[in-house]
DNA sequence: TTGACATATAAGCATATTCTTATATAATGA
DNA sequence: TCATTATATAAGAATATGCTTATATGTCAA
């Protein structure tokens, strides 16, 4: 049976492929907790900064995440308006929480909080 | 929060990658309806028989599907006992039904039914 | 304006993926 | 046993992927 919330195979497959990479799947898990700064990703993942950037770009190009610049930092968040968000969410709901990784960062004082002092 | 049904990122990512291919995602959709004979897949997909066989092998190697030989035919079914089955099911539940493709085959008399006349 | 920091892009390389064609294996039935 | 049908495996080619290093761009603050 089809329902109005169904999404074509052709649309879903590329999203699944994106999440089929361990790094990007973990990124999605982190973004389920809260939006994250690129610098947090580069802390967490054992790879070069460009590699992190390229993974984020793929997620962004697919519309799965949204990018926001705040000062010299760029934050990424899950795009909850995206047509594939329900799929992403249902997948991530079965995954272990990545909160500990973020707690670890914050414990080490690496949590970027941006305050617009010019406002 | 983690729950006992959570599955590690390392385990889930390869399954998502498998389903991230349009052909294999459609195969999974077909198998959500019923078990299928290899010959049905070769009818449905516009690719060579070896290509179909190779996709099925990947799904089988990952444990996502089970293979059963019946006479000269080989049938594949979703492995409902596999630890990743809940994930697979939750993904497929959001996908459009592939039942029409199977109905089409059966209408054309291409549905293989195996009866063990030697029994 | 300049230096430092954060991030993105470019280019190149190694490996993975997904086809194809050719061939091997397995089961059936004359 | 032999031909036929169903499926799997092997080998090779084209393309995709994911990393690296080098460099460019954007922002801030002195």
Q: Which residue has the higher pLDDT, B24 or A119?
A: B24
CA of B73 vs C1' of D5, distance in Å? 10
Long-range contacts of A37-46 (CB under 8 A, 24+ apart): A37/A73, A37/A74, A37/A75, A37/A76, A37/A112, A38/A73, A38/A74, A38/A75, A38/A76, A39/A73, A39/A110, A39/A112, A40/A102, A40/A105, A40/A110, A40/A111, A40/A112, A41/A76, A43/A105, A43/A110, A44/A101, A44/A105
pLDDT higher than threshold 90 for residue B111: no
Between the CA atoms of B4, B7, B9 and B11, what dihedral angle is there, to the nearest 10 degrees? 150
Domains of chain B in sequence order: 9-107 (1.10.10.10)
Determine which of B1, B18, B19, B97 to mutate to test the interface with A (most A C-beta atoms within 10 Å): B19
Residue B79, pLDDT score: 98
Residue A119, pLDDT score: 37
Residues with CB under 7 A from strand C: A 37-39, 42, 49-50, 53-54, 56-57, 67, 72-74; B 17, 20-21, 23, 47-48, 50-51, 54-55, 58, 69, 71-72, 117
Q: Which residue has the higher pLDDT, A77 or B109?
A: A77
pLDDT digit of tens for each residue in chain A (119 aa)? 777 666 799 999 999 999 999 999 999 999 999 999 999 999 999 999 999 999 999 999 999 999 999 999 999 999 999 999 999 999 999 999 999 999 999 888 777 777 655 43
Determine which of A95, A98, A102 to mutate to test the interface with B (most B C-beta atoms within 10 Å): A95
Residues of chain B neighbouring A6 (CB-CB closer than 8 A): 94-96
pLDDT higher than threshold 90 for residue B112: no
Residue A14, pLDDT score: 98
CA of A100 vs C1' of C16, distance in Å? 32
Residue B107, pLDDT score: 87
Q: Which residue has the higher pLDDT, B66 or A3?
A: B66
Percent of chain B with pLDDT over 90: 82
Residue B62, pLDDT score: 98
**Over residues B54-76, mean pLDDT:** 98
């Amino acid at each position: 049976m089809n329902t109005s919330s169904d999404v074509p195979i052709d649309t879903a497959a590329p999203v699944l492929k994106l999440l089929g990479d361990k790094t990007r799947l973990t990124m999605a898990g982190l973004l389920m907790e809260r939006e994250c700064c690129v610098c947090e990703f580069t802390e967490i993942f054992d790879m070069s900064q460009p590699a992190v950037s390229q993974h984020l770009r793929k997620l962004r190009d697919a519309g799965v995440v949204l990018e926001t610049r705040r000062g010299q930092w760029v934050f990424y968040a899950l795009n909850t308006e995206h047509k594939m968000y329900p799929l992403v969410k249902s997948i991530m709901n079965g995954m272990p929480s990545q909160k500990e990784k973020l707690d670890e960062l914050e414990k080490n004082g690496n949590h970027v909080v941006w305050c617009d002092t010019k406002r």
